[in-house]
Amino acid sequence: MTGRATRTIHVDTLARVEGEGALYIKLVGERVADVKLKIYEPPRFFEAFLRGRHLSEAADITSRICGICPIAYQMSAVHAIERALGVHISPAVRLLRRLFYCGEWIESHTLHVYMLHAPDFLGYADAIAMAKDHRAVVEKALRLKKIGNRIVQLLGGREIHPISAAVGGFYKVPTKRQLRELESDLEWALAASIESVKWTASLEFPAFEQDYEFVALRHPDEYPFNEGRLVSNRGLDIDASEYEDHFAEQHVKHSNALQSVIRGRGSYLVGPLARFNLNFDKLPEAARQAAVDVSLRPPVKNVFRSIVVRAVELVFACAEALRVIREYEPPAAPRVEVHNRIGVGQAITEAPRGILYHRYALDDKGMIVTAKIVPPTSQNQKRIEDDLREYAAQLVAWPVEEATWKCEQAIRSYDPCISCATHFLKLTVDHEGSSD
Amino acid sequence: MSSDAKHKPRVDKPTIDKPRIGVFKFASCDGCQLSLLDAEDEMLAVAGAVEIAYFPEASSAMLKGPYDMGLVEGSVTTYHDAQRIQEVRRQCKTLITIGACATAGGIQALRNWKDVDEFIRVVYATPQFISTLKLSTPIAEHVPVDFELRGCPINKHQLLELITATLAGRKPNIPSYSVCIECKRKANVCIAVARGIPCLGPVTQAGCGALCPSYDRGCYGCYGPMESPNTTSMSSQFRILGQADSQIVRAFRGFNAWAWQFRKASEECER
């Protein structure tokens, strides 16, 4: 038999993930000897060239880290700088920022659920091939995605790298009527999202439960976007300013992304599962009911089921967007005035893929002295490797080609964004000598 | 719902001669290729008219070249990528670069004025693990390019026009005039003249729809230089509006910093 045989699983270019990565797994007999999530996306050095730029440029520059979640970068940037400057935004701006984030979550989650992840469950190479047999599903997804993008476009001018986020508020805010025009589309989107929960819940999931430390924001009254304390299911409960006391980044040779760990405990999981498990009680009724209707309750410990959780978060984002557009009264001014001062500010917001940490040190002229950015995929990277070590062990008896395909699917469950993490992915499975 | 998803899906062989398109990524944020997926109304129609043969971000079916049309996103920043673009060029009958990274080196070209080794030390604890080139350069510095589509990010309607025109063998209708023309068409009041807000609109190529001025802020040049930009005059105008040379340098050193006209303008202000 293959008792001592060494085999490898290799994926040179991971598909349907944002950015460039590869996977390498080495199997010696029945044992998983090595797992490397390789990130060969070239480094772009954002933290270095933010030094010496003006604080007003941080949102525009950092949004270019990621074309899929630019709003997350803009939100973490403006909130961190506002904290450094002691700026308090108006309640109307706070609402608009939540709406802005709803748009990004709807666009990004729909992209992942239907176009990047669903083809794995149904056995297609992509959404276009899937559309041949499931045209109505793909058309519904495109309409839902477009509604998310429409929100972003209205508030930010364009879907990718929107231009309106500013320290203190926005450059320009919409009228009540402009927001109300989104209402009928959002009512359709809410219903479509509830159907998405049922549809995703009917897929078949591998049995793979892990004991995670989930990390997410938690706010007393709301499902989190821009505010809250950073909490975990193992007792973490800190302010953003304490983040670097509790988390460390490691630089490993096989990756252009820094891997993040909780000091003294190791890997952890951020993103939809973490948010859902830690904030289930804060979901609006429609989202909680949609989850309960498909027997989805916390703790969800199977990362393959994240597709269902993303669909629940779609329900949340549509319901929250409807709430905002119904409550909105335009602010007296689009943004509050800001005054330069020496200071350091940190902020954490919930990007579609999980928490995004920014820290800026500013001088008295409003210039950035130092910047630090920890994207969600860096934080999940070590956890992905840990999971693959467990998952590959279940697949040792499988033919390499099928094992490889399953490992790729496992990675996609995290919705990794490699472009973000580089400051971040490639699969190789290595079985040493296969005959015996 | 069940299906046999154990195996990597088999890819259907195309039965008719549809043009084959490949989408290639270099150093970038993925935003420009995402524009294809953001064309929600047109995506299925485009997919019906062409064969998307290579597009790893959207599909696990990665078919070998040659390709009739290659869309290249991102700039060249590593030795490996400098080699890879040569192979991509050999595989593509028509090569189109999309976005500020591919056409001008992108925001990561800010390293071109700095010591890249110092940049590595700022970001990475173990600098010897990182391999990168000293410069971030546009694709056209490495291989001949058939058309450069500007923008950070590109405009998806321009991308669809470009794909359609290229497949039809006609010249794409993509203007090279300035953002000012778009402001005039939208009947925007000029924010530079009326409110004294510094604006790069006069030297920046149109394509965004004059977004920033329409949102009460100055254009920051994300579509790069228009065909004949008078950057010297632009700098003078910025000075009249009270901008220091260091601010003008930063204005030109944005997402198209390495485009030669903007590069010249920023370096003039440093002298």
> For tokens 């506002």, what's the residue?
A82
Q: Is A203 on the interface with B (CB under 8 A)?
A: yes
Give the number of A-B residue pairs with CB atoms closer than 8 Å: 218
CATH number of domain containing A118: 1.10.645.10
Strand A427-431, strand A21-28: pairing: parallel
| Burial letters A112-121, b for 16+ CB under 10 A, else e | bbbbbbbbbb
Residue A31: pLDDT band (50, 70, 90) is: confident
A149/B215 touch (CB, cutoff 8 Å), yes or no: no
Residue B88 is encoded by which pair of tokens? 């991509």
Q: Is residue A276 part of a domain?
A: no
A13/B56 touch (CB, cutoff 8 Å), yes or no: yes
Chain A residue at shortest CA distance from B110:
A49
A64/B81 touch (CB, cutoff 8 Å), yes or no: no
Residues 367-396 on A with a CB inside 8 Å of B are none
Check whether B150 has a pLDDT greater than 80. yes
Residue A331 is encoded by which pair of tokens? 């602010």
Q: What is the dihedral of CA B185, B189, B191, B193, to 10 degrees?
A: 110
The beta-carbon neighbor of B111 closest among A49, A70, A203 is A49
Q: Is residue A392 part of a domain?
A: yes
Q: Is residue A87 part of a domain?
A: yes
Residues 141-170 on A with a CB inside 8 Å of B are 142-143, 145-146, 149, 157-161, 163-164, 166
Cβ(B66)–Cβ(B94) below 8 Å: no
Q: Is A38 on the interface with B (CB under 8 A)?
A: no
| Burial letters A166-204, b for 16+ CB under 10 A, else e | bbbbbbbbbeeeebeebeebbeebbebbbebbebbbebe
A64/B152 touch (CB, cutoff 8 Å), yes or no: yes
Chain B residue numbers touching A128 (CB-CB < 8 A): 43-44, 47, 52, 58-59
Q: Is residue A286 part of a domain?
A: no
Residues 213-242 on A with a CB inside 8 Å of B are none
Mean of pLDDT values over B4-11: 58
Chain B residue numbers touching A411 (CB-CB < 8 A): none
* Number of domains within chain A: 1
d(CA A3, CA A268): 33
Chain B residue at shortest CA distance from A67:
B31
Q: What is the dihedral of CA A404, A409, A412, A414, to 10 degrees?
A: -100
Residue B58 is encoded by which pair of tokens? 């959207």
Residues 230-259 on B with a CB inside 8 Å of A are 247, 250, 254-255
How many helices (DSSP H) and strands (DSSP E) are in chain A? 16, 14
Give the rounded percent of residues in chain B with a pLDDT score beyond 70: 91
The beta-carbon neighbor of A419 closest among B29, B52, B122 is B29
d(CA A237, CA A218): 9
Q: Which of B59, B72, B129 to mutate to test the interface with A (most CBs of A within 10 A)?
A: B59
Cβ(A361)–Cβ(A340) below 8 Å: no
The answer to whether domain B20-168 has CATH 3.40.50.700 is yes
Domain ranges of chain B: 20-168, 179-270
Other Cβ atoms closer than 10 A to A95: 19
Beta carbons within 8 Å of A377's beta carbon, 6+ residues apart: A257, A353, A354, A414, A416, A417, A418, A420, A421, A424
A43/B220 touch (CB, cutoff 8 Å), yes or no: no
Cβ(B109)–Cβ(B134) below 8 Å: no
A401/B7 touch (CB, cutoff 8 Å), yes or no: yes
The alpha carbon of residue A293 is apart from the nearest alpha carbon of chain B, in Å, by: 17
Cβ(A134)–Cβ(A122) below 8 Å: yes
Q: Is residue A296 part of a domain?
A: no
d(CA B11, CA B59): 11
d(CA A106, CA A138): 15
A49/B110 touch (CB, cutoff 8 Å), yes or no: yes
Q: Is residue A212 part of a domain?
A: no
- Compute the mean pLDDT over every residue in chain A, rounded to the nearest whole number: 91
Check whether B14 has a pLDDT greater than 80. no
Check whether A433 has a pLDDT greater than 50. no
The beta-carbon neighbor of B78 closest among A42, A129, A203 is A42
d(CA A242, CA A238): 6
Amino acid A12: pLDDT:
76
> For tokens 């689009």, what's the residue?
A334
Domain around A18: 6-206+327-431
The beta-carbon neighbor of B132 closest among A43, A49, A401 is A43
pLDDT tens sequence across A123-166: 999 999 999 999 999 999 999 999 999 999 999 999 999 999 99
Give the rounded percent of residues in chain A with a pLDDT score beyond 70: 94
Check whether A422 has a pLDDT greater than 70. no
Residue A309: pLDDT band (50, 70, 90) is: very high
> To which H or E segment does residue A9 belong?
strand A6-11
Check whether B195 has a pLDDT greater than 80. yes
pLDDT tens sequence across A50-103: 999 999 999 999 999 999 999 999 999 999 999 999 999 999 999 999 999 999
Check whether A426 has a pLDDT greater than 60. no
Mean of pLDDT values over A192-206: 97
The beta-carbon neighbor of B40 closest among A19, A53, A145 is A145
Cβ(A262)–Cβ(A247) below 8 Å: yes
pLDDT tens sequence across A156-172: 999 999 999 999 999 99
| Burial letters B115-138, b for 16+ CB under 10 A, else e | ebeebbebbbeeeeebebbebbbb
Mean of pLDDT values over B51-80: 93
Q: Is residue A321 part of a domain?
A: no
Q: What is the dihedral of CA B181, B187, B188, B194, to 10 degrees?
A: 100
The alpha carbon of residue B229 is apart from the nearest alpha carbon of chain A, in Å, by: 23
The beta-carbon neighbor of A146 closest among B40, B77, B255 is B40
Phi and psi at residue A361, in whole multiples of 5°? -105, 130
Residue A319 is encoded by which pair of tokens? 């319901």
A125/B110 touch (CB, cutoff 8 Å), yes or no: no
Residues 312-331 on A with a CB inside 8 Å of B are none
Q: pTM value?
A: 0.93
More confident site: A290 or A404: A290
B126/A121 touch (CB, cutoff 8 Å), yes or no: no
The beta-carbon neighbor of B107 closest among A64, A124, A166 is A64
Q: Is B107 on the interface with A (CB under 8 A)?
A: yes
